[in-house]
Every structure is written in C-alpha cells, then in structure tokens.
Amino acid sequence: MDKRVSTAAEAIAGLRDGMTLMAGGFGLCGIPEQLIAAIASAGVRDLDIISNNCGIDDKGLGILLANGQVRSMTSSYVGENRTFERLYLSDQLQVTLVPQGTLAERIRAGGAGIGGFFTPTGYGTPVAEGKECREIDGRWYVLELPLRADFTVIKAYKGDAHGNLIYRHTANNFNQAMATAGKVTIAEVEELVEVGELDPNQIHTPGIYVDRIMRGTDYEKAIEFRTTREG
C-alpha cells in the first residue's frame, strides 16, 4: 500500500480540535518541523500534546503553544520555554510532568498493548499521588498507565512508500516508540525512496505502524542554544 502524501497539510488531514497529539523529538532534535508548521497553519485548538518537551518559544511545539493551540502538555522537561512557564503559572495550561524514563515506557506500553507497569521511579514523591503502589520483593513500586494518541507526528531520516522508517543517530529518541502508539501515525522523512531500496535489517519502524508518509525539504534543524569557549 502506497502511503505517500504530497504535502504536510494533506498529511495532517483529520486532526481536529480537542484531540490528543503525540510529537516525536528531544529538545529540537528529531522533531517533525514541517508537520508542526502545518498544524499551526491549520489552526486546530485545545490539543492535548504528549511530548518530551514543548520546544522553545519560537521553534518546534513552542509555535503551537504561542498560538494558543495547546490545552495540556504531558512532558518530562519544560525548562527552555518562557511561554510555557508563563501559561503554566497563570493556570492557562494544564501540565503533567512525568519522569523521562517513565514517559518513554508509558508510550512504549501504549504501542505494545500493555495495560500498565510498576516502576520504583517516583515512589514517595508527588508523582505517586493518587496511583496504586505495591511492594514487590521488599521494594515499593508505582503503577503507571500506558499513553496513546489520536494522532502521532514523527520525524525519520529515510522512509519508503510503505512507511518503513530509518532514524539517524539521536534523532531516533521518542520517535520510534511514538510511531506505535497513535491511532493515526504520520511520518515526515528527509529521504523518501521506493519500496525495496531500504535494507530490511536497518529498518527501525515497520510500515505497519505508519499511516501516512511525506518528504520534507529545507530543514532548519535548530538547536536550543550553543555553548562555546575560546581556543
């Protein structure tokens, strides 16, 4: 089945107000830049976004935040976004902070059809409030539930017409797990090739998880900040 679409606007067709959206990336590394731009242009609102962080003020998911399109964030790190801080402190944004490893495992569990898992991370802290806790072999654990999304937008390095994906280095980050956890998963790739051109042994995400795929161009690949020193 050929899953190629021509434009980012076509790729996000069906995304509506109030939906849950997963977005791959870590910081600004491996984010689906052009799908995010298309969502901003579409103007959908009240999105409940699951992502490691919310970009920065004018990059990545920070664009949607600044546009007032985000109702809630489920994240593990939010320290680079002043708009996020302002909206959260003024009660204009609902925020659920999740330890990073727990966030990754909750997403993986959502994609794998696992009903939940016990982790020691967060026991005895506000993270555990209202959750089932259980002692196992003398250690206390917290029950964490899976995360799933109506739409998932991810970024890969290469893909083929069937949606098979290869990620590059650290740009894999949350993308691979998130690809499995969306009802509709949309992949944005830098290189889009014909079926059979990818080495099957190198494929990270099988096309069965991907519903639509598009080729992006002219990537900025911004970073949050640069720290340098002389000589």
In the chain, the percentage of residues whose pLDDT exceeds 90 is: 87
| Integer Cα distance of 68 and 89 in angstroms | 15
Mark residue 22 as left, alpha or beta (left: phi above 0; alpha: psi -120 to 50; beta: remaining). beta
pLDDT greater than 80 at residue 98: yes
- Domain extent listing, the chain: 8-113+147-215
Per-residue confidence band for 81, with pLDDT thresholds at 50, 70 and 90:
confident
Average pLDDT rounded to a whole number, residues 162-188 = 97
In the chain, the percentage of residues whose pLDDT exceeds 70 is: 100
Residues 6+ apart with CB under 8 A from 34: 8, 188, 214, 216, 217
Confidence (pTM): 0.94
Closest CA to 28 of 83, 81, 66: 81
Residue-wise pLDDT for 26-69, tens only, equals 989 999 999 999 999 999 999 999 999 998 888 999 999 999 99
Average pLDDT rounded to a whole number, residues 84-90 = 90
What is the CATH class of 8-113+147-215?
alpha beta
Which pLDDT value is given to residue 80? 77
pLDDT greater than 90 at residue 231: no
